[in-house]
A and B are shown apart, each in its own frame.
Chain A
Amino acid sequence: MKRFSLGRIVLAVFGTVVLLYLILPVLIIVPMSFSSARFLTFPPPSLSLRWYQEYVGNPAWMQATRVTLTVAGLTVLIATPVGVAAAYAITNSSLRIMRLIHLTLMLPLVVPIIIIAVGVFFVFASVGLTATLSGLVLANVMLGLPYVITSVVAGLQSFDATQEMVARSLGMNRFRSFFIVTLPQIKASVLTGAIFAFISALDETVVGLFISGGQYQPLTKRMFTSLRDEIDPTIAAISTLMTATSFILVLLASTRRKKSA
């Protein structure tokens, strides 16, 4: 198996090309964001922080950034406890209906996002939740829940449930035994789920496009609308910052996961 045959060389070359196709477009925005040119050229004529200054100096971009960070933060604060409770129930219940409930909770991953966006928009429009912060947070909690649940269910499945039973047999109630015995041991999976819910809220575009408005427009909506008109290099700067944030958070999540394994 290990010898170098023609087949293996072809495979290695092909695999490398596919990996470059995956990675290069993500990386190319970084040099573009540091370009001094008004129009997107590559390689950039000279380096500058011009587009970063444009971003930081623009009140509209800053307001959108505040909205996005607030929404993502609140989403994590709500989705994490709700998701952990659901994951605990899913793994510890012998009820038959739990399988169906689990599947239902995963639905946001499979229903096409445009249908969710339009449906939520119709509902929000009739209860007055469009163009509000709470509307954005609610929608993102729903979209982020599957990530928390998937991660925590995996964490709970690899956790030895008898430990919690021991704690309860020694007189702790279910609530305390969960917080003192179980939670510390699954906290890596909880953190991973929370991080993915945060990234999901950070990146969410389509639902926000429909339900947000006024002063509560997330960053992605402003980016999308300005991309429709013209290619503004400020977006390269914002994209670089967003990608860097996601990368750091994913790395954080994966190192945490390794430690707990």
Chain B
Amino acid sequence: MLALVSPALLVILALLLLPVGWLMWQSIYHDGFTIENYRRIFSEDIYWRSFLLTFRISLLVTLLALLLGYPLAYAAASVSKGWSILILSLVILPFWTSVLVRSYAWLALLQRTGVVNRMLQYFGLVDEPLALVHNTLGTVIATVHILLPFMVLPLYATMQKIPGELIQAGASLGGSPSYTFWRIFLPLSLPGVLAGATLVFVLCLGFYITPELLGGGRTVLVSQLVSRNVELYDQWGAASAVGVLLLAGVFAIFVVVSRFIPLDRVVGQK
């Protein structure tokens, strides 16, 4: 059995574990061991500001995705089978559309002469086109759109398993619909909330294409920091150190979350 799994393992070793190991090594070794790369992250403004900004945007995106995704997943779990298949298909189809294509679509929608601004002006809601893109706002709008399916799918998977009898029992004992929702349904759906929120937050931490295209250079997230250090400044050591910290953050989150729910509920939603 080990022989059968070894080709796959070899691929992951050579193309994932080795590169990540290389990154770690390079972050601490340059003609001798050094902590210079890490020292710089904590002492230079641009670095820790970028980490802080990434953290805040990820938190905001997760929150918005939860606010939009929870009612949608609830609707999908409480309607008849035909409807729920329709809703889930509409959630899954954009999921399998290229992130690049969707970022491009948002660029076209939100730019100064884009559809959204034209509509707002046409209806006389604004006089001047709004700056919806090439800033943090544009990044957040598009990122929530791209990551929303990662919230809805685990939420739906959890909600669908909540037995309807429990809600009926609560109602028959005199609980109002809002009481049975807040005291029975919501607590039972929390594992799904945690799974979805973890997934969205972690993916958002490492988001690259969307902020690069929609952020307009003003919003520099951690991923962009890594790529700029490689592409523009040729600072491989600095890029590696930023990457290692990002990875450490992601794994710390998974370790904490795995204490509450099994990890295979979080990973493998696609």
Q: Which of A15, A29, A104 contacts B101 (CB 8 A)?
A: A29
A247 on interface, CB distance cutoff 8 Å:
yes
Given A112-B205, A114-B227, A119-B23: A23 and B107 interface contact (C-beta under 8 Å): no
- Does any Cβ of B come within 8 Å of A142's Cβ? yes
SS class of chain A's interface: helix, strand, loop or mixed? helix
**Is A173 located at the chain interface by the 8 A CB criterion?**
no
> Using Cβ atoms and an 8 Å threshold, which residues of chain A touch B267?
106, 109-110
Q: Which of A238-252 contact B (CB under 8 A)?
A: 239, 242-243, 246-247, 249-250
For residue A236, which residues in chain B have a CB less than 8 angstroms away from its CB?
104, 108
- Let me know if A119 and B111 touch, CB within 8 A: no
Main secondary structure of the interface of B (DSSP, over half): helix
- The one of A93, A110, A205, A242 in contact with B254, judged by C-beta atoms closer than 8 angstroms, is A110
A227 to B108, CA, bound (A): 11
Q: How far is the CA of A104 from the CA of B206 in the complex (A)?
A: 19
Question: Is there contact, CB below 8 Å, between A119 and B5?
Answer: no
With an 8 A cutoff between CB atoms, is B74 at the interface? yes
Q: Does A224 contact B (CB under 8 A)?
A: yes
A145 to B8 CA separation, bound complex (whole angstroms)? 8
- In the bound complex, do residue B113 and residue A82 qualify as a contact, i.e. CB atoms below 8 Å apart? no
Is the beta-carbon distance between A109 and B270 smaller than 8 angstroms?
yes
B269–chain A nearest beta-carbon distance, Å? 9
In whole angstroms, what is the CA distance A108 to B209 when docked?
17
Contacts of B155 in A (CB 8 A): none
Instruction: Kindly state the separation between the CA atoms of A246 and B239 in the bound complex, as whole angstroms.
Output: 33
Considering only CB atoms, which chain B residue lies closest to A25 in the complex? B105
- Asked if A55 is at the interface (CB within 8 A of a chain B CB), the reply is no
Inter-chain CA distance A153–B161, complex, in Å, is 22
A86 CA to B5 CA, complexed, in Å: 4
Asked whether A146 and B268 contact (CB < 8 A) given A112-B223, A236-B108, the answer is: yes
A residues 89-120 near B (Cβ < 8 Å) are 89-90, 92-93, 95, 98, 101, 103-120
Residue B175 at the A interface, CB < 8 A?
no
| Complex Cα gap A104–B227 (Å) | 25
Residues of B close to A180: CB separation below 8 A: none
**Is B115 interfacial (CB 8 A cutoff)?**
yes
Binary contact readout B235-252 vs A (1 if CB under 8 angstroms, 0 otherwise): 010011001001100100
Q: Which of B17, B145, B227 contacts A21 (CB 8 A)?
A: B145
Cα distance A135–B71 when bound, in Å?
44
Query: Which partner residue on chain A sits nearest B9 by CB separation?
Result: A101
The residue of chain A having its C-beta at the shortest distance from the C-beta of B18 within the complex is A123
Query: Which residue, of B89, B108, B167, has the highest number of chain A Cβ atoms within 10 A?
Result: B108
Task: State which of A15, A26, A109, A149 has its C-beta within 8 Å of the C-beta of B94.
Answer: A26
Picked from A12, A106, A112, A242, the residue with its CB within 8 Å of the CB of B98 is A242
A202 CB within 8 Å of chain B = yes
A235 to B164, CA, bound (A): 48
Q: Which residues of A contact B59 (CB under 8 A)?
A: none
Q: Which of B1-23 contact A (CB under 8 A)?
A: 1-2, 4-5, 7-9, 11-12, 14-20, 22-23
Q: Residue on A with the closest CB to B105? A: A25
Residue on B nearest A7 in the bound complex, by CB: B177
- Return the chain A residue nearest B205 by Cβ: A112
Contacts A/B (CB < 8 Å), 28 sampled: A1-B78, A11-B71, A18-B148, A40-B108, A41-B118, A42-B118, A85-B8, A86-B8, A89-B1, A89-B2, A89-B4, A109-B270, A111-B20, A114-B246, A116-B16, A116-B20, A122-B23, A123-B15, A138-B11, A142-B12, A150-B270, A196-B270, A203-B97, A203-B98, A203-B101, A206-B208, A223-B100, A250-B92
> Lowest 6 A-B CB distances belong to which pairs?
A112-B206, A119-B19, A86-B8, A93-B1, A203-B98, A89-B4
In addition to A11-B74, A22-B94, 12 A-B residue pairs with Cβ atoms within 8 Å of each other are A21-B145, A22-B91, A22-B145, A107-B17, A110-B250, A122-B26, A141-B15, A142-B11, A205-B99, A239-B101, A239-B105, A250-B92
Interfacial residues, chain B to chain A (CB-CB below 8 A): 1-2, 4-5, 7-9, 11-12, 14-20, 22-23, 26, 68-69, 71-72, 74-76, 78, 87, 89-94, 96-102, 104-109, 111, 113-115, 118, 145, 148-149, 164, 167-168, 177, 202, 205-206, 208-209, 212-213, 223, 226-227, 230, 236, 239-240, 243, 246-247, 250, 254, 263, 267-268, 270
Using CB atoms and an 8 Å cutoff, list the residues of chain A in contact with chain B.
1, 5, 7, 11-12, 14-15, 18-19, 21-23, 25-26, 28-29, 32, 39-42, 82-83, 85-86, 88-90, 92-93, 95, 98, 101, 103-123, 138-139, 141-142, 145-147, 149-150, 196, 199, 202-203, 205-206, 210, 220, 223-224, 227-228, 231, 235-236, 239, 242-243, 246-247, 249-250, 254
